[in-house]
Amino acid sequence: MQGIRGIVFDCDGVLFESRAANLAYYNAVLAEFGEPPVLPQERARAHLCHTAASPQVFATLLGAERSAEALALAARMDFRRFIPDMLPEPFLAETLAALAIRFPLAVATNRGNSMHEILVHFDLAHYFQSVVTSRDVLRPKPHPDMIHLAARRLGLQEGELLFIGDSELDREAAREAGVAFVAYRNDGLGEVSVASHRHLLRLLEGGRAGEIS
Is the Cβ–Cβ distance between 105 and 127 less than 8 Å? Answer: yes
pTM of the model: 0.89
pLDDT value, residue 188? 87
Which SS3 state, helix, strand or coil, does residue 177 take? helix
The topology (CATH level 3) of 6-17+86-212 is Rossmann fold (3.40.50)
pLDDT in single tens digits along all 213 residues of the chain: 679 999 999 999 999 999 999 999 999 999 999 999 999 999 999 999 999 999 999 999 999 999 999 999 999 998 899 999 999 999 999 999 999 999 999 999 999 889 999 999 999 999 999 999 999 999 999 999 999 999 999 999 999 999 999 999 999 999 999 999 999 999 889 889 999 999 999 999 874 433 333
Neighbouring CB atoms inside 10 A of 31's CB total 11
Q: Which residues contact 180 (CB under 8 A, 6 or more apart)?
A: 1, 4, 161, 162, 163, 174
Strand-strand pairing, 87-88 and 16-17: antiparallel
pLDDT value, residue 213? 31
pLDDT value, residue 56? 94
- Distance between CA atoms of residues 41 and 137, nearest Å: 32
Domain ranges of the chain: 6-17+86-212, 19-83
The helix or strand, by DSSP H or E, that contains position 107, with its residue range, turns out to be: strand 105-108
Chain mean position to CA 59:
20
- CA 126, 167, 99: angle at the middle one, nearest 5? 30
Termini Cα distance of the chain: 14
- Distance between CA atoms of residues 147 and 139, nearest Å: 11
pLDDT value, residue 2? 75
